[in-house]
Copies of this chain bind each other. A is one copy, B any other.
Amino acid sequence: MTNLPHEHGQNEEVILAQLPDEEEISGVAEAMKQLGDPSRLRIFWLLCHCEECVLNIAALVNMSSPAVSHHLRLLKNSGLIVSRRSGKEMYYKTADTELAQVLHHTIETLGRITCPRETPPQNKK
């Protein structure tokens, strides 16, 4: 019943039925895209480990505050971080959601894989 150019031994019907729909794919891609930029990735990683105000974040990642502000807005729009005002300062930190936690865990895991430090890259067979 599948209408493919070539017919191999595979069962594409079953696989296609499980293929996440447009909306679902877009949602995941949106989250991944946010962390596809090194600047945002560093900021997100930082905010996974502490809550900081904009000026401090800018100093820690060595960027201008408008640039940091811009990225913070994107991260916040994607629901990855949250903010809170205290006096003149705006404090940001990673959102306490499963989405943020999964991504944090992924980053830490990938960090070890893509650039191994102490442990050699073991191609487990």
Chain B residues with CB under 8 Å of A33's CB are 32-33, 36-37
Chain B residues with CB under 8 Å of A97's CB are 123
CB-nearest residue of chain B to A7? B56
Chain B residues with CB under 8 Å of A16's CB are 60
Question: Chain B nearest CB: distance from A33 CB in Å?
Answer: 3
- The A interface, classified by DSSP as helix, strand, loop or mixed, is helix
Q: For chain A, which range describes its interface: under 10, 10 to 19, 20 to 34, or 35 or more residues? A: 35 or more
Other contacts beyond A10-B51, A22-B38, A98-B124: 13, CB < 8 A: A4-B56, A5-B55, A6-B53, A10-B50, A18-B49, A25-B111, A27-B111, A27-B115, A28-B35, A28-B41, A28-B110, A28-B114, A32-B41
